[in-house]
Amino acid sequence: MGRGYAQDWPKNFLSKTAYCARTKAAGIMVDGSTTNNARWNLSDALSFRTLPHFRLPSDPTVTAEQRDAQPLVDVAYSGEAELLSTLRITSAAGIVRVSFNDKEDAEPSIHKPSAELLFTEQELEERFDRASPLSVHVLGFNGREVSVKDVWKMLAVQAYVRIPGSDVRLFRRSVYSDERESSDRQYYEWAQLLREKGPDGNVHRATSIDLRVGCIWDGGIVKYEDGHVSHWGPMRLGRHEHVFGGHASEEIVLPPNVNIKRVDINRGGQGATNMEGIRMHLTNRTSAGELNSGNNIIKLQAAAQEVIVGFYGKSDTDGFRGVVEFGIITAPKAVGLEGLPDAVFDLLELRNENKIINGVDGDEVMEDAATEDGDSSGSGEDDSDGHSDSEGE
């Protein structure tokens, strides 16, 4: 119910309300012009509409996908020499309301829902001032909602990877911790695909991901079918393989022919340096991971014609070395994970090379970190035992 419903509640059932002892006001006659704020909040009404308890025999059956589908706001690209950005809004349940800067567009509506809406960057620039933030709020026909604080920032980031010798592009989209990236701090930068070369030189698919979560989100360990691993975070600290913490960690198995549908991220509270949790959902309805408490949850998922093929991000170089940025790498669904060109597996930007960014020597930082980190200094294995293949070499 919307705020203020209590005092107007009787107007839905009575032709005249009673005397109000609190305001000492006489009752009023109720007709079509009487103010009445006792009405359903639209998102709540639409949520109830999808439940079987409220279904009429003449109503169409609502599938689980339509009931649970979250509206998706992302950026689509077109063009060859120069990519053109388009704000794309989609929902398997349909979209009934779109509001820019808290002002509703005339369409779509409950009477005329849309499955997909496209707004070119030029069109938005003609309607709104580029010098001011542009927010968008989307309501789906199932009552699910999603908001983006600044559309201009989304459109400004043309994050994609062009595969040499092919017309295939991989797209990247990510979220930061609440504090975002700072030029005064150093980070490990990492990436990997769900298929990558192992020490034998052959390409192997990922079989599971260990989602390492404790009081913060420490990182993750991607395991491949030949036994080698790649980290969401540093591969080593000094001479030893990095050992993640995380008392609430969960491992999710990645069966063949099953895709990752969505990743939920807990960005942490206001001013948080590290993210605080992750939960992953597969297309076979399997889920795993710990989000921890909080309401700063962001959902990352592929667009309708894409599929998740990998991940990338940044992690701190000190403390728990928690995740500060996390993103998904997607490919066109027609290409898929199995259809990626061979050239993609040799790209340095898609391999975990334990890179340190912000102008600090990687070996020096890792040696210092290993000295400071009691958990890692006595665990793991020496560099010389072959673990270098875990870095994608």
Residue 382's domain is classified under what CATH number? 2.100.10.30
* 334 lies in some domain: yes
Task: Give the residue from 105, 138, 154 where a domain finishes.
Answer: 154
pLDDT, residue 104, reads 94
Residue 390 · residue 235 · CB < 8 Å: yes
Computed over every residue of the chain, the mean pLDDT equals 81
pLDDT, residue 374, reads 39
Dist CA 294 CA 166 (whole Å): 43
Q: pLDDT (tens digit, 9 = 90+) per residue, 117-143?
A: 999 988 998 999 887 889 999 999 999
Dist CA 176 CA 61 (whole Å): 39
Residue 352 · residue 192 · CB < 8 Å: yes
What number is the average pLDDT over the span 276-294? Answer: 93
Q: Report the chain's terminal Cα–Cα distance, integer Å.
A: 58
State phi, psi for 50 to the nearest 5 degrees: -85, -10
- Of 80 and 344, more confident: 344
Q: pLDDT (tens digit, 9 = 90+) per residue, 168-190?
A: 889 888 888 766 555 566 788 88
Whether the per-residue pLDDT at 376 is higher than 80: the answer is no
Q: Residue type for 141, please?
A: F
Q: Residue type for 377, please?
A: S
Task: Give the residue from 139, 154, 169 where a domain finishes.
Answer: 154
Using alpha carbons, select from 100, 95, 99 the residue that is nearest to residue 115: 95
DSSP 353: -
Residue 98's domain is classified under what CATH number? 2.60.40
Q: Which range has highest mean pLDDT (28-37, 171-180, 355-364)?
A: 28-37
* 26 lies in some domain: no
Dist CA 151 CA 154 (whole Å): 5
Q: Residue type for 285, please?
A: R
What Å distances lie between residue 52 and 46, 57, 386, CA to CA? 13, 10, 57
Task: Give the residue from 154, 184, 200 where a domain finishes.
Answer: 154
Bridge partners of residue 87, in order along the sequence: 75, 119
Q: pLDDT (tens digit, 9 = 90+) per residue, 288-334?
A: 999 998 777 888 888 878 999 999 998 888 777 889 989 999 999 99
Dist CA 167 CA 165 (whole Å): 7
Examine the domain organization and report whether 112 and 233 are in the same domain.
no
Examine the domain organization and report whether 177 and 234 are in the same domain.
yes
Whether the per-residue pLDDT at 388 is higher than 80: the answer is no
Examine the domain organization and report whether 234 and 281 are in the same domain.
yes
Share of the chain above pLDDT 90, in %: 38
pLDDT, residue 219, reads 92
Whether the per-residue pLDDT at 359 is higher than 60: the answer is no
* 202 lies in some domain: yes
Range of the domain at 100: 64-154
Residue written as tokens 């006792």? 38
What number is the average pLDDT over the span 72-77? Answer: 80
Residue 327 · residue 314 · CB < 8 Å: no
Dist CA 288 CA 252 (whole Å): 6
